[in-house]
């Protein structure tokens, strides 16, 4: 993660400050689009950014294209998306998978590393550690601990207790959280806007598991409003762009490669959001 001054949409498209601000302004209506389910909107946001990159790349193939050409390209894209009611992003989002083992496997690894001083492991030791976490996640075997909770949460709990993403309070809080995240420029904490948004989806995935862990700790069959608020607070304090992520980048190249590999997948938004 970085706080560098240049602004990138993705790896190869740079943005002016005006272009970045226009993206922010058009992004919020998509995430707030009331005719779509919350998780469809979250995935559609990533798809929208991906389509925007393809559109700008095609509309301005010459490096250093005239500013007026770039401005017209952005305006054309924004207008077409609104006129079509974001039909393409939502169509892709709704076709996405609704449950997957990859998410469990990755979260098991991330949460275990958050609890563990992996810097002391050799590469073979780290590979064994990763494999063990993947097997746990795939088989719903064993347990995980959500920093800073004291007690472990059995993985089978995530099969029994479901966090309804259309819970009115959850949906409202998540939307307000995302809008605040975007408007305070936290998308720029990483190398690009697209990558910053994928981090948002990662934090959303952790928040869902935190919510379930809080419910389990009280022997509840489903999360209540207190669990929702506590999960958001926990993720804000202990996960969102926490220095730990920077430490992992610097000291754990294997985990860094795994995270980068996940983010490069076209299905990354679906993996992180669904299930």
Q: Which two tokens stand for residue 33?
A: 């689009």
Within 140-224, residue ranges assigned H as helices are: 157-160, 168-183, 193-217
pLDDT tens per residue across span 32-54:
998 899 999 999 999 999 999 99
Confidence of residue 3 (pLDDT cuts 50, 70, 90): very low
Confidence of residue 13 (pLDDT cuts 50, 70, 90): very high
The pLDDT of 53-68, averaged and rounded, is 78
| Residue 152 and residue 144 in contact, taking contact as beta carbons nearer than 8 Å | yes
Q: Which two tokens stand for residue 216?
A: 């389990």
Three-state secondary-structure class, residue 142:
coil
Residue that wins the pLDDT comparison between 150 and 187: 187
The pLDDT of 188-215, averaged and rounded, is 93
Three-state secondary-structure class, residue 99:
coil
Measured in degrees and rounded to the nearest 5, phi and psi for residue 153 equal: -115, 120
Residues 6+ apart with CB under 8 A from 20: 7, 193
Confidence of residue 63 (pLDDT cuts 50, 70, 90): low
pLDDT tens per residue across span 93-145:
988 665 579 999 999 999 998 887 555 677 788 889 999 999 999 999 999 98
% of the chain surpassing 90 pLDDT: 56
Confidence of residue 167 (pLDDT cuts 50, 70, 90): confident
Exposed/middle/buried for residue 94 (C-beta within 10 Å: 0-12, 13-18, 19+): middle
The pLDDT of 191-220, averaged and rounded, is 93
d(CA 203, CA 114): 14
The pLDDT of 158-176, averaged and rounded, is 88
Give the pLDDT confidence score for residue 262 in this predicted structure. 93
Is residue 148 reached through a cis peptide bond, with omega within 30 degrees of 0 on the bond before it?
A: yes
Exposed/middle/buried for residue 155 (C-beta within 10 Å: 0-12, 13-18, 19+): buried
What are the beta bridge partners of residue 7? 15
Helix axes 38-59, 168-183, angle to 10 degrees: 30
Residue that wins the pLDDT comparison between 19 and 6: 19
Q: Over 80: is that where the pLDDT of 61 sits?
A: no
d(CA 262, CA 268): 6
Name the residue ranges covered by the structural domains of the chain.
Answer: 7-94, 101-273
User: Given phi > 0 = left and psi -120 to 50 = alpha, else beta, which region is 177?
Assistant: alpha
Give the pLDDT confidence score for residue 117 in this predicted structure. 56
pTM over 0.85: yes
Compute the 3-state secondary structure of the chain and give helix, strand, coil in percent, each to the nearest 5: 70, 5, 30
Residues 6+ apart with CB under 8 A from 111: 144, 145, 146, 147, 206, 209
Give the pLDDT confidence score for residue 144 in this predicted structure. 94
Three-state secondary-structure class, residue 153:
strand
Q: Over 80: is that where the pLDDT of 1 sits?
A: no
The pLDDT of 221-238, averaged and rounded, is 89
d(CA 73, CA 57): 10
């Amino acid at each position: 993660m970085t706080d560098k001054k240049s602004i990138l949409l993705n790896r190869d498209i740079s943005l002016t400050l005006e272009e970045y601000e226009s993206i922010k302004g058009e992004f919020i209506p998509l995430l707030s689009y009331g005719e779509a389910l919350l998780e469809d909107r979250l995935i559609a946001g990533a798809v929208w950014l991906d389509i925007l990159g393809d559109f700008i790349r095609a509309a301005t193939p010459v490096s250093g294209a005239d500013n007026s050409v770039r401005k017209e390209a952005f305006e054309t894209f924004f207008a077409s998306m609104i006129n079509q009611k974001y039909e393409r992003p939502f169509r892709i989002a709704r076709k996405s998978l609704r449950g997957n083992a990859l998410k469990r496997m990755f979260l098991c690894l991330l949460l275990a590393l958050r609890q563990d001083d992996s810097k002391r492991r050799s590469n073979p030791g780290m590979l064994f550690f990763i494999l063990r976490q993947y097997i746990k996640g795939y088989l719903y075997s064993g347990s995980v601990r959500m920093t800073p909770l004291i007690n472990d949460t059995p993985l089978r709990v995530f099969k029994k207790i479901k966090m309804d993403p259309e819970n009115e309070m959850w949906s409202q809080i998540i939307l307000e959280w995302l809008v605040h995240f975007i408007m305070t420029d936290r998308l720029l904490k990483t190398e690009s806007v697209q990558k910053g948004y994928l981090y948002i989806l990662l934090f959303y995935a952790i928040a869902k598991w935190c919510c379930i862990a809080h419910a389990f700790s009280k022997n509840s069959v489903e999360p209540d409003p207190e669990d929702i608020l506590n999960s958001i607070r926990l993720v804000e304090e202990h996960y969102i762009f926490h220095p730990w992520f920077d430490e992992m980048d610097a000291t754990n190249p294997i985990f860094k490669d795994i995270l980068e590999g996940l983010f490069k997948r076209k299905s990354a938004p679906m993996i992180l959001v669904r299930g």
